[in-house]
Amino acid sequence: MAEARLGVAFQFQVTEEGIIVNYDRNALKFVGRAVMKSAKRRVKGAKKAILKRSFPATPATWILLVAALSAARYSENETTLGVLGKVERGLPWGHNLDPKTVIAVAVLVCATLLWMVIGHIQQFTLRKLLSYRAFLYEPRGKLSLKTKIWLAFVKVLGGKNPTLYSYEKSLPFLPVPDLDATTKRYLESVRPILSEERFKKMEKLAEEFKNGLGKKLQRYLVWKSWWSTNYISDWWQQFVYLRSREPLMINSNYYGFDPKQCPSRIQSARAANVIHSLFLYRKQIRKEKLQPQFSMGIIPLCSEQFRKTFNTTRIPLKEQDHLHHHGSSTHVVIYHRGRFFYLQAFHRGLLLKPADLEKQILHILQDESKPVSGEELLPALTTAERNLWADTRSTYFSAGVNKQSLDCIEQAAFFLNLEDLELDYREEECEDTDSFGRYLLHGNGHSCWFDKSFSAYIFKNGRFGMTAEHSWADAPIMSHLGEYIALDEFFLLGYKEDGHCKGEPEFNLRPPSRLQWDIPEKCVGIIETCQEKAEDLIKDLDLHILVHNAFGKGAIKKMKLSPDGFIQMGLQLAYFKDQEHFSLTYESSMTRLFREGRTETVRPCTMDSCAFVRAMLNPSSTKSEKKELMLKAVETHVTGFKKAMSGEGVDRHLFGLYVVSKYLEQDSPFLIEALKEPWKLSTSQTATQQLTKTNYDKMPGLRTAGGGFGPVADDGYGVSYIISGEEVIYFHVTCKVSSQRTDCKRFSERIKESLKEMKALFDD
Report the C-alpha gap between 316 and 620 in whole angstroms: 58
* pLDDT at residue 262 greater than cutoff 70: yes
Report the C-alpha gap between 740 and 84 in whole angstroms: 81
Kindly state the percentage of the chain with pLDDT values over 90: 77
pLDDT bracket for residue 554 (50, 70, 90): very high
Count CB atoms within 10 A of the CB of residue 346: 13
Structural element, H or E, at residue 12: strand 10-15
pLDDT of residue 315: 98
Name the pairing type of β-strands 585-590 and 10-15.
Answer: unpaired
Reading phi first (left if > 0) and then psi (alpha if -120 to 50, else beta), residue 486 is in alpha
pLDDT tens figures, 33-90:
656 665 666 666 555 666 666 677 777 888 888 888 777 777 655 556 567 777 767 6
pLDDT tens figures, 388-403:
999 999 999 999 999 9
- Note whether 541 and 737 are within 8 A (CB): yes
Q: Cα torsion for 641, 642, 643, 645, to the nearest 10°?
A: 90
pLDDT of residue 55: 74
- Note whether 728 and 551 are within 8 A (CB): no
* pLDDT at residue 13 greater than cutoff 60: no
pLDDT of residue 43: 61
* pLDDT at residue 14 greater than cutoff 80: no
Long-range contacts of 574-580 (CB under 8 A, 24+ apart): 574/747, 574/750, 574/751, 574/753, 574/754, 575/680, 575/681, 575/717, 575/747, 575/750, 576/613, 576/617, 577/617, 577/750, 577/753, 577/754, 578/742, 578/746, 578/747, 578/750, 579/680, 579/741
Report the C-alpha gap between 424 and 442 in whole angstroms: 16
- Note whether 594 and 230 are within 8 A (CB): yes
Structural element, H or E, at residue 685: strand 681-685
Name the pairing type of β-strands 707-709 and 254-257.
Answer: antiparallel
- Note whether 343 and 331 are within 8 A (CB): yes
pLDDT of residue 161: 86
pLDDT bracket for residue 497 (50, 70, 90): very high
pLDDT of residue 36: 66
Q: What is the mean pLDDT of residues 87-98?
A: 67
State the catalytic residues: 470
- Note whether 130 and 171 are within 8 A (CB): yes
pLDDT tens figures, 113-148:
888 888 889 899 999 999 999 999 988 778 899 999
* pLDDT at residue 5 greater than cutoff 50: no
In terms of Cα–Cα distance, which of 615, 267, 232, 650 is closest to 462? 267
Q: Give per-residue burial for 444-453: e unless 16+ CB within 10 Å, then b.
A: bbbbbbbbbb
Bridge partners (DSSP) of residue 717 are 681
Question: If you average pLDDT over every residue of the chain, what do you get?
Answer: 91
pLDDT bracket for residue 212 (50, 70, 90): very high
pLDDT of residue 8: 45
- Note whether 176 and 594 are within 8 A (CB): no
- The model carries a pTM of 0.90
Structural element, H or E, at residue 729: strand 728-736
pLDDT of residue 531: 98
pLDDT of residue 48: 61
Kindly tell me the burial class for residue 91, based on how many C-beta atoms sit within 10 Å of its own C-beta (0-12, 13-18, 19 or more).
middle
pLDDT of residue 107: 80
* pLDDT at residue 216 greater than cutoff 50: yes
Per DSSP, the three-state class of 352 is coil
pLDDT tens figures, 296-324:
889 999 999 999 999 999 999 999 999 99
Q: What is the mean pLDDT of residues 350-379?
A: 97
* pLDDT at residue 404 greater than cutoff 70: yes
Query: What is the distance in angstroms between the CA of the first residue and the CA of the last residue of the chain?
Result: 71
Calculate helix-pair angle for 651-663, 669-676, nearest 10 degrees: 130
Q: Give per-residue burial for 661-695: e unless 16+ CB within 10 Å, then b.
A: beeeeeebebbebbeeeebbbbbbbbbbbbeeebe
pLDDT tens figures, 219-261:
999 999 999 999 999 999 999 999 999 999 999 999 999 999 9
Q: What is the C-alpha R_g of the chain?
A: 29
In terms of Cα–Cα distance, which of 63, 64, 85 is closest to 74? 85
pLDDT tens figures, 132-190:
999 999 887 788 999 999 999 999 888 888 999 999 999 999 999 999 999 999 999 99
Sign for the CA dihedral angle at 79, 82, 83, 89 comes to positive
pLDDT bracket for residue 699 (50, 70, 90): confident
Report the C-alpha gap between 562 and 553 in whole angstroms: 9
* pLDDT at residue 2 greater than cutoff 50: no
DSSP string computed for 22-88? EE-HHHHHHHHHHHHHHHHHHHHHHHHHHHHHHTTS-HHHHHHHHHHHHHHHHSSS-TTTTHHHHHH
pLDDT of residue 328: 84
Q: What is the mean pLDDT of residues 100-118?
A: 81
Kindly tell me the burial class for residue 49, based on how many C-beta atoms sit within 10 Å of its own C-beta (0-12, 13-18, 19 or more).
exposed
Q: Which residue type, as a one-letter code, is found at position 733? A: V
pLDDT of residue 407: 97
Report the C-alpha gap between 318 and 244 in whole angstroms: 11
Report the C-alpha gap between 591 and 586 in whole angstroms: 15
* pLDDT at residue 106 greater than cutoff 90: no
- Note whether 479 and 687 are within 8 A (CB): yes
Greater model confidence, 10 or 335: 335
* pLDDT at residue 593 greater than cutoff 90: yes
* pLDDT at residue 101 greater than cutoff 90: no
Report the C-alpha gap between 157 and 159 in whole angstroms: 6
pLDDT of residue 6: 40
Q: Is the peptide bond before 56 cis (omega within 30 degrees of 0)?
A: yes
Q: What is the mean pLDDT of residues 671-692?
A: 93
In terms of Cα–Cα distance, which of 474, 481, 454, 475 is closest to 466? 454
Which residues lie below 8 Å from residue 116, measured CB to CB, with a gap of 6+?
Answer: 53, 54, 57
* pLDDT at residue 755 greater than cutoff 50: yes
